Amino acid sequence: MNINSDVHAEVVRKLAEESVTPTVAGFDVIDVKIDPNAIVLNEYVNELYSNLENVVSMRGGNMGFSQDELQAYCATMVAIRVDYVNGNRPMFRPNDSVAVPSYLSVVLSNIGKVSHIDLGVELRPVINDDARPQMSPEEVMAISRKLMALGAYGFEYAKGFERSRDGSYDFMAMTVVKGMVLATSKDAHPVNALLASTVNTSGIELALSPRITYGSVEHFRSLVRHLAALKV
């Protein structure tokens, strides 16, 4: 009996649909490395400090802390968020009144545990011990109080952190390889690449195959300087 190939293909397709169910072969936990000393974050901090120092000095004031101390402070904020997400005892809790620079607050809110059920992966943030900042709680609080006082100079900040331990998959799935910010697809909004470059996310390339480039770290270094401007 002669049968049209399209009809036969439909028979095969229907049989497969009724008999085959795609399932994830396994569920892998992937550590996504977060760098609290990343170049882009340091660029943001340097620009922020310079802007603050200029305004404060013009009004005859004194910053009360150094640029290096502000960098260590922001790096500590990153470490606190990662500790909280992983259920470790963080230096401060989300509702504690610590000043987090506005842009950094956006970055931190995207750091968290995320799952992609269809791919069978869970991403979780980690920090290498050798990159962990060494500020004490007393040093952090001292700088936090000084930063809050700078609100009168146009410095914008958030108090504390997000309570949710969830992060953004599009952000956590970005990776920085050889100075380029990569992703597995072009569906993620470009803002995720900017945020990811700020803390130099890496690790997914060990399990997935990121082939879409969102730009170079050097490009994001230039962009992030605009986010350090004061509201005056």
Rounded Cα gap, residues 144 and 77, in angstroms: 11
163 lies in some domain: yes
- The band of 61, judged by pLDDT with boundaries at 50, 70 and 90, is confident
pLDDT of residue 179: 96
15 lies in some domain: no
108 lies in some domain: yes
DSSP-derived 3-state class of residue 173: coil
Rounded Cα gap, residues 201 and 218, in angstroms: 15
Task: Describe the crossing of helices 39-58 and 190-199 by its angle, rounded to 10 degrees.
Answer: 90
Taking residues 41-53, what's their average pLDDT? 98
Query: What are the pLDDT digits (tens) for 203-231?
Result: 999 888 899 999 999 999 999 999 999 98
DSSP β-bridge partners for residue 213: 182
pLDDT at 143 over 90: yes
pLDDT of residue 25: 65
pLDDT of residue 34: 98
pLDDT at 2 over 60: no
Domain that holds residue 140: 25-228
151 lies in some domain: yes
- The band of 19, judged by pLDDT with boundaries at 50, 70 and 90, is confident
The answer to whether the beta carbons of residues 52 and 150 sit under 8 Å apart is yes
Q: How many domains does the chain have?
A: 1
In whole numbers, what is the pLDDT of the chain averaged over residues?
92
14 lies in some domain: no
pLDDT of residue 180: 97
pLDDT of residue 68: 97
90 lies in some domain: yes
220 lies in some domain: yes
9 lies in some domain: no
The pTM is what? 0.89
Report in angstroms the alpha-carbon separations of 70 from 49, 167, 195, 224: 8, 25, 19, 16
